[in-house]
Structure 1
Amino acid sequence: MISTVTRNFKGSKAADYEDLDANYNSRNPQDIIEMQSPVPVVPDESYTVGAAVNAFGFGKFQVKLSLFTGLCWMADSMEMTILSILSPALHCDWKITQYQQALTTTVVFLGMMISSTFWGVLSDKYGRKQALTVCSVLLFYFALMSSFAPSFGWILFLRGLVGFAIGCVPQSVTLYAEFLPTKQRAKCVVLLDCFWALGACFEVLLALFVMPTLGWKWLLGLSTIPLFAFACACPWLPESARYHVASGQTEQAEATLQKIARDNGKPMLVGRLVMEDGQMSIRGRVRDLLSREYRKTSLLLWTIWIATAFCYYGVVLMTTELFENKAPCPGPGPCESECKRLSSSDYMDLLWTTLAEFPGIFATIFVIERFGRKKTIAAQFLVYTVSMAILHLSMDK
């Protein structure tokens, strides 16, 4: 079931990034591009970041960046997967109600929702690398402090701050996509989700060995190891060359492009680095999303992402409830306070459902390349709906 939702998640994500270079023509990178100055750039002496990235191709630089970005994605996945394990554990140890269990996960998503615009503006102003560095340190700190929480109130507060820091994680994928050649971008962004699935599997395996003996506090603490590793790796992350060009830091952008050329064994382009065609000097204007030109696309994408997040995380959080194998509670009473810890077989079942994300990723790549993004997303939402209906009927039995 998670596999179906995952394919929706990957398909919608690929659709978001496929037009990142919509204004770039790889066959004609020497077009005249007007800068903030009214003086035009001579075509034979200029090139853009997009032209350079496509000329250098996919090589050693992109492989290293894939590992760095994948580590961030893996750490994020572990923090999200732990939500389905933490709430039942708190129910048993601290006797929290079902409402409080739901609140434990809700505060994380509220933190993400509140902080997403904040991190976006920060990234536009100071760069994606700087934002990711601050985010990784805060995320590691608050996630680690969660393992020392003395009460339910502290858990809510600290997990809410974890969600606030997680709101910056998508910037890592944006940074990654900016350094990918046009032809490889869609596949690489989808394949990056292998790290997400790997992080989810690692979290389940960690819970399998830690929860029965050490408990949820140790699980929270050990789950921060990938976060610590990514925070230490942030100094080696490249800054966005597009950000440098847009902010007038052309020399830094050229230095980054020279590193890509050197790592990939390609010659550096000759000429002057200029902005992409149509790139605005004013950045980060959220209101542009609702302008006449982008309003329809924005509303449709928001609807798709809301539906995708609801389906995906709904299934993730519901899985542990299904594995408890108990009759539904008709209302407040003794059954509401009933505690049943997940067994080893439950964790193994959870691991198998998590592993289903891998075929979902590869199936998405196969289908998207042949039928396109929109048809793939629509078809996979339909498959998800049918699958959930079948699951509902089987549970009634």
Structure 2
Amino acid sequence: MEKLFLVGKEAQKIRQAHLDDHSNHSHLPNVSFISSNSGRYQDLDEDNRGTLRVDVVNPYPASSLERVEGDLNQAPPTFTVDQAVDQIGFGKFQLKLSCLAGFAWMADAMEMMILSILSPALKCEWDLNGWQQALVTTVVFCGMMMSSAIWGKISDRHGRRVELLLCSFITFYYGLISAGAPNLWWLLFLRCFVGIGIGGSPQSVTLYSEFLPSKQRAKCLVLTEVFWALGSCFEVLLALFVMPTLGWRWLLGLSSLPLLVFDIACLWMPESARFFMASGQTRRAYDVLERIAKENGTTMPPGELVSDAGQRKDTTPRGRFADLVGPDFRRTTFLLWIIWLGNAFSYYGVVLMTTELLGAGDTCHVGSQSNIPAAECSLECRMLTTADYWDLLWTTIAEFPALFLTAVIIDLLGRKRTMALEFVVYSVFVFLLCICTSRVIMTMFLFVARGFISGAFQTAYVYTPEVYPTSMRSIGLGMCSAMARIGAILAPFNSQVVLNYSVYAAISIYGTVALLAAGASMLLPIETKGREMKDTRTVQ
């Protein structure tokens, strides 16, 4: 019979129990744990008096027991949020979250698409000039620009879920009451608050991306843009039936209702586990991950949840603008600002320019204001026709095939090359609009241009949350969104003012800006394809 030294926690428990008994009852003997490897008993106490020898029968080889002793001395296993999300995988929870985030995009797309439909109607009802038409669109983007960074700070400091609840309710409330605006100035004031609310909508991308496994993240984020396209198409169809009968006020009121539905649905949505980790709430982060694993029917990784820096807590303040322009992220931030500004300027430019070009019939009759006869009274003002709405719908549908193409190439070419390629293709087809051609060919050029610029925009939405760590992800995305609103503010003046003086100048501006954004995409220092999302800012 082989006798071995009892090791580990069990030995400690037995020895401590006997020591406790010995302190209370001095007549009890001490316990020695002995080994017979040498062939004889060896007492572990200094003397043999009062010692009880305990022989432990070992049914396992000595080498196995040594391995057990080594395992007991090792630190417990650990895992990060990223590793947990990857192991849990894409399942029922992510499908529900995809629908919820997508519904937010649909609702915001309806509020944005209405701008291109509202402008011609207000021009006729209130006899607006080109500058006043542009202001109806510009005030919304001004509100978005002013609020984007603020929403980012709220998201980084108080949570993504809190931010989404607030911004969606503000958008719904002011969108609804703007339907009752008595004049232009009241409408501008109320629509500015709509823009303030919409400025927080990009944070739904932050929350969504933080729950996605790394392998599916890019494709899922790109495909959420399908919901944006669906919202745009739904708004055009809604306008097709509402505008001729009920008018623009009913269209504004009905378009705000989906945001109320989203706000109620947000009560189901959990807070981001990454946000909890970045704010030092490890227990709550673990509970969120455990909930997702249970809903997906999978298991959590064994061990202790830690940040991607190990046990060290990231104590640096969260959501600081100074971190974006610090030495680690300065180049990335400035290049992303150029990309986002160019993206929004080009995207909203082609959306607004589409209604202007369709209203004229082709590019040959938009060259100067002298080609457009002035209406003698507001009743003679030209409204969008049924044919115009259908052509607008066709150009909106262009976003669907381009998004599926983007979902395929984004993991093949990488984020940087995908953005650059789509900017270049957009630029080529925008320049082709300078050709004086038929309405059908012009619609085809607009179709391709809109599809590829929407793909470039969505690729930027994939890249930005991936490149910034959790502690500054929302402020990073918020500042990029703010820069995008500057581009969106400028777009109406190019599409509705410059276009009336020179169609070639307006088109050339859009094409050139897109080429500059393509160059900025290639100069980005980091390719995030296959890269884990970081929790702390020690990434560069």
TM-score range, shorter chain: 0.7 to 0.9
Question: Is 1:168 aligned to residue 197 of structure 2?
Answer: no
User: In structure 2, what is the Cα distance between the partners aligned to 1:85 and 1:43?
Assistant: 63
User: In structure 1, what is the Cα distance between the partners aligned to 2:308 and 2:75?
Assistant: 13
Name the structure 2 match of 1:51. Answer: 83
Name the structure 1 match of 2:349. Answer: 314
Superposition deviation, residue 334 in structure 1: 6.2
Q: Answer whether contact 2:107 2:256 (CA < 8 A) is retained.
A: yes
Of the three residues 274, 277, 280, the one matched with 1:242 is: 274
Of the three residues 293, 303, 309, the one matched with 2:338 is: 303
Question: Is 1:369 aligned to residue 404 of structure 2?
Answer: no
Of the three residues 112, 117, 126, the one matched with 1:85 is: 117
Task: Write out per-residue CA displacement over residues 326-385 of structure 1, whole angstroms, 9 at most, x where no aligned residue.
Answer: 633436996287721011111011111101100010111222232222222222211111
126-135 vs 249-258, greater mean Cα deviation: 249-258
User: In structure 2, what is the Cα distance between the partners aligned to 1:365 and 1:254?
Assistant: 31
Name the structure 2 match of 1:335. Answer: 374
User: In structure 2, what is the Cα distance between the partners aligned to 1:382 and 1:250?
Assistant: 45
- Cα distance, 1:296–1:178 mapped onto 2, change above 3 Å: same
Q: Answer whether contact 2:87 2:300 (CA < 8 A) is retained.
A: no
Of the three residues 296, 304, 314, the one matched with 1:280 is: 314
TM-score, normalised with respect to structure 2 = 0.64
Superposition deviation, residue 173 in structure 1: 0.6
What is the identity, as a one-letter code, of the residue corresponding to 1:386? V
144-153 vs 247-256, greater mean Cα deviation: 247-256
User: In structure 1, what is the Cα distance between the partners aligned to 2:198 and 2:370?
Assistant: 34
SS in 1 for 2:360: coil
Name the structure 2 match of 1:68. Answer: 100
What is the identity, as a one-letter code, of the residue corresponding to 1:359? P
Superposition deviation, residue 43 in structure 1: 5.4
User: In structure 1, what is the Cα distance between the partners aligned to 2:120 and 2:78?
Assistant: 59
Of the three residues 335, 341, 351, the one matched with 2:393 is: 351
User: In structure 1, what is the Cα distance between the partners aligned to 2:398 and 2:373?
Assistant: 36
Name the structure 1 match of 2:495. Answer: none
Q: Answer whether contact 2:218 2:411 (CA < 8 A) is retained.
A: no
User: In structure 2, what is the Cα distance between the partners aligned to 1:115 and 1:260?
Assistant: 32
Task: Write out per-residue CA displacement over residues 312-331 of structure 1, whole angstroms, 9 at most, x where no aligned residue.
Answer: 00011111111112633436
362-371 vs 163-172, greater mean Cα deviation: 362-371
* Count of matched residue positions in the alignment of Structure 1 and Structure 2: 356
SS in 2 for 1:206: helix
User: In structure 2, what is the Cα distance between the partners aligned to 1:269 and 1:365?
Assistant: 29
Name the structure 2 match of 1:150. Answer: 182
The CA RMSD over aligned residues, in Å, is: 2.0
SS in 1 for 2:79: strand
Task: Write out per-residue CA displacement over residues 216-265 of structure 1, whole angstroms, 9 at most, x where no aligned residue.
Answer: 00000111121111011111111011111222222221111111100111
58-67 vs 316-325, greater mean Cα deviation: 316-325
Superposition deviation, residue 394 in structure 1: 2.6
Gaps spanning 5+ residues in structure 2: where? 1-73, 438-502, 505-540
132-141 vs 261-270, greater mean Cα deviation: 261-270
What is the identity, as a one-letter code, of the residue corresponding to 1:330? Q
What is the identity, as a one-letter code, of the residue corresponding to 1:48? T
151-160 vs 363-372, greater mean Cα deviation: 363-372
SS in 1 for 2:245: coil
Name the structure 1 match of 2:402. Answer: 360
Of the three residues 104, 129, 135, the one matched with 2:161 is: 129
Name the structure 1 match of 2:427. Answer: 385
Task: Write out per-residue CA displacement over residues 84-120 of structure 1, whole angstroms, 9 at most, x where no aligned residue.
Answer: 0111110011111111100010111111111011001
TM-score, normalised with respect to structure 1 = 0.86
Alignment map for 1:197-236 (pairs within 5 Å): 197-236=229-268
Q: Answer whether contact 2:104 2:259 (CA < 8 A) is retained.
A: yes
Structure possessing the higher radius of gyration over alpha carbons: 2
Q: Answer whether contact 2:233 2:396 (CA < 8 A) is retained.
A: yes
User: In structure 2, what is the Cα distance between the partners aligned to 1:394 and 1:293?
Assistant: 49
Gaps spanning 5+ residues in structure 1: where? 1-41
Superposition deviation, residue 50 in structure 1: 1.0
